Amino acid sequence: MRIDDQPTTADPRTLQGVGVSPGLAAGPVVLLAPPPGEPAAEPLAEGADVEAEAARIRPAAEQVAAALTAAAASVTGERRDLLETTAQMAQDPSLVKTAAKRVRTDRLTAPRAVWEAAATVAEQLRALGGYMAERARDVADVRDRLIAELTGAPVPGVPRGVDPFVLVATDLAPADTALLDPAQVRAIVTAEGGPTSHTAILARALGIPAVVGVTGAPTALPAGAVVLVDGSAGTVRTDPGPEELAAAERRATLERTFTPPGRTADGHPVQLLANVGDPAAAAGAAAAGAEGVGLFRTEFCFLDRAQEPGVAEQVAAYRAVLTHFPGKKVVVRTLDAGADKPLPFVTADDEPNPALGVRGLRTARRAPEVLDHQLQAIAEAAGAEQAEVWVMAPMVATAQETEDFVAACARHGLPTAGVMVETPAAALLSGPVLARAHFASIGTNDLTQYTMAADRMLGSLAELTDSWQPAVLRLISATCAGGAQQSRPVGVCGEAAADPALATVLVGLGVSSLSMTPRALADVAAVLAATDLATCRRLAQLAVDAESAAEARARVRAELPVLADLGL
């Protein structure tokens, strides 16, 4: 099977996609409420009040923003961030002013003016490429909500107040994804989206099985039809039998818990940690039994600000996370700005390709004081709490960058400094890098997109941006070899760690810790506890020797009957 082949299935009742959130679930199909569509291009009627028409746009934008802000107050963490970001975009002065100007100059109706103004903004974002192109999807979501408000049409999005269902859509806007209710949405199927899209990441965080990249969805899955979604295998069965439905029902009602420590069947230790992005997520991770934090994203302190937060403010924010893990490891990632997280005080707004630009540790070249202040705050927070604090830098590519970062940490009294391996360069140079750093943590999301030269948010490339890609697994193996050479631990904090089958492969390659969304801890722990280290190593070799992600996944899953026993 060639690397660019889409996985296929011989069963005509089964649609194949890319599984991005494990689990088995069944239910009737409910289609995402459609957007209002493109407004007519006819100009305003003669004698119409142009100023009154233009004046309708700002109140509509404020209403949309208020609704999104209210929705954000009902959720936490990344879900709140997504909704608040969309709310801010709804009130973007450039979008509102451009639309109002088109009403006045071209005598367009307000809905049509919004449509054309949004097209201009979206095109500008797509031209930037990489992560910034992702924001074009947010613009389309805001546009549709604004047009619905202006025309009185139903607001597009996930239906409310109906029996549990399988949600089917071409794609989900970040705001739609952020409002998903696991008690109502049993599974998600989309035609677009990738393994590291917002849909995939939040589906995993919420424990909702999800399959993306399903050709023909939603047209091939009519509303009301009962389907069976396997988020691990990446399949959607259109005519499931009674036994399959019963198995899905059992899985839906099963509640597994994780009791530390993580280990294989023969007792080989594997630290099972959590990824957190704010104090609320830290509390949830601690309650889920996480052995610590493998990725503490500090961006929540910095986003949506014109200036960096003060040291005292940062200290308070970091302590609110550290306090949940006394005596346990917490790996703090320094500011990962740039690309999809531009910040005016560390990044430029005119980079032609932000994904390959000044991001992560590279921002210290432009604003070294921001990193210096953050390390000072981390050190003060660590001194005030009882967590075992490790610090790592994102987007490292060279041994010299590593050496400089480790030295900066040492100056602030932070003795355990490491790096994220997100670039092929860092993976291939892991020996020299880990001769300087105390540990490495592999960010499989970025490592996959940089290895495969494929935008991780692009649904049409979902089969490429899959962490099962043998090329990616070989780079993980190379990183672990570098760690073994220097007697340094290597962990994984990317989304790959949340896949129970892939977790066995990662352990077999030499990974010593896995950090994931807290909801995945119990499933990953259960599969590892049923698999000895020798089997993990054998499965790792099977995956590395495969020629495609689909083949690697199929090989490993065929050798893990425990997955079926656990409904995974």
DSSP-assigned states of every residue in 472-530: HHHHHHHHHHHHHHHT--EEE-SGGGG-HHHHHHHHHHT--EEEE-GGGHHHHHHHHHT
- Residue 198: active-site member: yes
Task: For residues 81 and 76, give the distance between their C-alpha atoms in angstroms, rounded to a whole number.
Answer: 8
Among the listed residues 409, 480, 493, 536, the single catalytic one is: 493
Task: For residues 140 and 132, give the distance between their C-alpha atoms in angstroms, rounded to a whole number.
Answer: 14
The number of C-alpha atoms within 13 Å of 233 and in the hemisphere containing its C-beta is 22
The CB-based long-range contact list for 477-481 (8 Å cut-off, 24+ gap) reads: 477/509, 477/510, 477/540, 477/544, 478/427, 478/428, 478/430, 479/421, 479/426, 479/427, 479/430, 479/440, 479/442, 480/430, 480/509, 480/510, 480/511, 481/430, 481/431, 481/510
Q: Return the ∠ at Cα 108 (arms to 104 and 113), rounded to 5°.
A: 90
Residue 323 CA to chain centroid, in angstroms?
25
Specify the pairing of strand 513-516 against strand 271-276. parallel
Helix (H/G/I), strand (E/B), else coil: 98:
helix
Kindly compute the dihedral angle of the four CA atoms of residues 520, 497, 451, 549, in this order, to the nearest 10 degrees: -80
Report the chain's C-alpha Rg in angstroms.
Answer: 24
Contact call for residues 258 and 288 (beta carbons, < 8 A) = yes
**How far are the Cα atoms of 429, 510, 513, 541 from residue 473, in angstroms, in the given order?**
16, 11, 16, 10
- Residue 536: active-site member: no
Query: For residue 440, what is the enclosing H or E element?
Result: strand 440-442
Contact call for residues 221 and 26 (beta carbons, < 8 A) = no
Kindly compute the dihedral angle of the four CA atoms of residues 315, 318, 320, 326, in this order, to the nearest 10 degrees: -110
Question: Can you read off the two tokens belonging to residue 296?
Answer: 């503490």
Among the listed residues 198, 324, 412, 438, the single catalytic one is: 198
Per-residue exposure over 264-298, b if at least 16 CB sit within 10 Å of its own CB, e if not: bbeebebbbbbbbbbbbbbbbbbebbbbbbbbbbb
Which residues neighbour 45 within 8 Å (Cβ) at sequence distance 6 or greater?
A: none
Task: Tell whether omega for the bond before 368 is within 30 degrees of 0, i.e. cis.
Answer: no
DSSP-assigned states of every residue in 281-343: HHHHHHHTT-SEEEEEE-GGGTTT-SSPPPHHHHHHHHHHHHTT-TTSEEEEEPP--BTTB--
| Backbone φ and ψ of 220, nearest 5° | -85, -5
Question: Can you read off the two tokens belonging to residue 541?
Answer: 């070799």
Which residues neighbour 259 within 8 Å (Cβ) at sequence distance 6 or greater?
A: 289, 525
Residues forming the active site: 198, 493
